[in-house]
A = this chain, B = another copy of it.
Amino acid sequence: MPNTLYLPELREMLAENDEAGLREFCTALHHPARTADFMEGLAADEAWDVLRHAEIPLRAEIFGFLDERKQVEILQAGDRAEIAQLIGEMPPDDRVDLLNRVDSEIVAELMPLIPAEERRDIQRLSAFPEHTAGAVMTTEFARLSEDLTVGQALQEISRQTEELETIYYLYVVDDADHLRGLVSARQLVSAMGKPNTRIGDLMQRDLVTVRVTDDQEEVAQKVARFDLLAIPVVDAEHRLVGIITHDDVLDVMAAEAAEDAYRIAAVAPLEKDYLATRLLVLTWKRGIWLTILFFGAFMTAFALDGYQAVTETIPWLVLFIPLVISTGGNSGNQSATLIITALSTGDVSLKDWWHVVHRELLVGVILGSFLGAIGYLLAVVMAPDWRSAFVIPLALVLVVTWGTLSGSLLPLLFERLGLDPAYMSNPFVATMTDTVGILIYMSVAQALLF
């Protein structure tokens, strides 16, 4: 929900070109994210007109909290020189993300206007493939030499603090930028009483690091596991090339959760947000999987074809086909989701497979029996007599149990094969349980009624 509280005043100030008022609005809310929230109702050009009244560092900060679509619109439409200045001021990782979303002709026009040092930094960071540590990291962090004393280090960082995203971890490097260790702001403050201590004697060695080519999901897991504020990113020679901070890790986690959700629903992950994705791209990302599943569903037609004698002789059996197979699919979905989630959080690992089978078998039999009992009541109404109605509960027990077993074992199998278990998505489990469910249902009917 956009916050519309100040919109009338903002529009009035814009109309009157009230420079002092607009400047005050930009600073008055104490946090750039809050200022951005109050500007959400403005169009991109209006928002940019407001922002131009803020000092450049604050302007870049507020801009960074606007929603992504508005950021892109502003970048495409704004005065090139002013936009280049804004980009120069943004955090290195954020501006690369943003430029990736802007039309390449506009990027080509902007790049020559960006100061040389920033331009090289953008080019270096853009070279890393998406979803790697290199693409997420920032190149602004505090570096110290191990020969400094605590007193010198404190002076040094109070000097650097203006331009750095985080000063809570200070990285110790040698002359060739090899990562030697880390001193936390906490350690420095505790050691203030002994200002002549060498940083080299104080620092933690043997740090938890990630390689620049590591997948962002691994990075997020490491930061979460070790409760870090930031993690250093090193190259193949253990040179420190960047850091990834806790706020970027939160963004990575949100992106990965969305990606897993897409996979579970058999949608190829989108690169942009839903509304910004072009219709044909959206159709394609859904169509590929839908088509594969459609071919899988062909099997249900062939399965039923083999039992045409049964369905034509006993037509009431047809009424229960959707009920039986969808119940199997639902129980399979539940198992698959539970196991995929437990695998990703580490609550379950491959060595637990026997334990999982045991549990799912029991759960399947209990749930199947319960649903079978209810299903029998419905079947008695629709079947010609109470005896033949027994097909339904028997089929339900077997189909639900098949659902829980295949739903739990398929993700484990994928994990064993080194594939992402989330690909063993719910629709796949459902398609498989559909076909096997029909075979089970029809065999039970044939055995009992013929």
Name the residue of chain B whose CB is nearest to the CB of A29: B206
Binds B, one of A14-22, A103-111, A189-197: A189-197
Cα–Cα, bound, A194→B216 (Å): 41
CB-CB contacts below 8 Å: A357-385 with B: 359, 362-363, 366-367, 370-371, 374-375, 378, 382
Binds B, one of A71-79, A132-140, A318-326: A318-326
Partner of A349, one of B1, B189, B295: B1
Name the residue of chain B whose CB is nearest to the CB of A223: B250
CB-CB contacts below 8 Å: A238-258 with B: 246-247, 249-251, 253-254, 257-258
Min CB gap A217→B, angstroms = 12
Contact A348 B274 (CB under 8 A): yes
The answer to whether A346 has its CB under 8 Å from any CB of chain B is yes
| Given A154-B189, A224-B254, A323-B301, also A334-B290 (CB < 8 A) | yes
Q: Which residues of B contact A204 (CB under 8 A)?
A: 30
Contact A431 B326 (CB under 8 A): yes
Min CB gap A441→B, angstroms = 11
Cα–Cα, bound, A64→B262 (Å): 33
Contact A375 B254 (CB under 8 A): no
Min CB gap A373→B, angstroms = 11
Binds B, one of A46-54, A119-127, A264-272: A264-272
The answer to whether A330 has its CB under 8 Å from any CB of chain B is yes
Name the residue of chain B whose CB is nearest to the CB of A333: B265
Q: Which residues of B contact A168 (CB under 8 A)?
A: 168, 185-186, 229
Binds B, one of A81-89, A172-180, A281-289: A281-289
What band does the interface of chain A fall in when counting residues whose beta carbon is under 8 Å from B?
Answer: 35 or more
The answer to whether A6 has its CB under 8 Å from any CB of chain B is no
Name the residue of chain B whose CB is nearest to the CB of A247: B227
CB-CB contacts below 8 Å: A312-345 with B: 312, 315, 318-323, 325-327, 329-331, 333-334, 336-342, 345
| Given A254-B253, A326-B300, also A367-B283 (CB < 8 A) | yes
The answer to whether A113 has its CB under 8 Å from any CB of chain B is no
Name the residue of chain B whose CB is nearest to the CB of A371: B294
Contact A301 B320 (CB under 8 A): yes
The answer to whether A386 has its CB under 8 Å from any CB of chain B is no
Cα–Cα, bound, A300→B323 (Å): 7
| Given A319-B301, A382-B305, also A262-B330 (CB < 8 A) | no
User: How many chain copies does the complex carry?
Assistant: 2
Cα–Cα, bound, A260→B382 (Å): 38
Q: Which residues of B contact A294 (CB under 8 A)?
A: 323, 327, 371, 374-375
CB-CB contacts below 8 Å: A274-311 with B: 274-276, 279, 282-283, 286-287, 289-291, 293-295, 297-298, 300-301, 304-305, 308, 311
Q: Which residues of B contact A93 (CB under 8 A)?
A: none
Partner of A426, one of B158, B282, B341, B426: B426
Q: Which residues of B contact A318 (CB under 8 A)?
A: 304, 311, 318, 321
Q: Which residues of B contact A282 (CB under 8 A)?
A: 359, 363
Min CB gap A201→B, angstroms = 15
CB-CB contacts below 8 Å: A386-433 with B: 426-427, 430-431
The answer to whether A11 has its CB under 8 Å from any CB of chain B is no
Query: What are the 10 tightest A-B residue pairs by CB atom distance, in nearest-first order?
Result: A265-B337, A273-B347, A300-B322, A257-B257, A274-B342, A227-B247, A30-B206, A297-B323, A301-B319, A224-B250
8 contacting pairs across A/B (C-beta < 8 A): A261-B264, A274-B338, A274-B347, A282-B363, A287-B366, A294-B375, A326-B431, A430-B430
Seen from chain A, the residues whose Cβ lies within 8 Å of a Cβ on chain B are: 1, 29-31, 33-34, 65, 67, 154, 157-158, 161-162, 167-168, 185-186, 188-190, 192-193, 204-208, 220, 223-227, 229, 246-247, 249-251, 253-254, 257-258, 260-262, 264-267, 270, 273-276, 279, 282-283, 286-287, 289-291, 293-295, 297-298, 300-301, 304-305, 308, 311-312, 315, 318-323, 325-327, 329-331, 333-334, 336-342, 345-349, 352, 355-356, 359, 362-363, 366-367, 370-371, 374-375, 378, 382, 426-427, 430-431, 434, 438
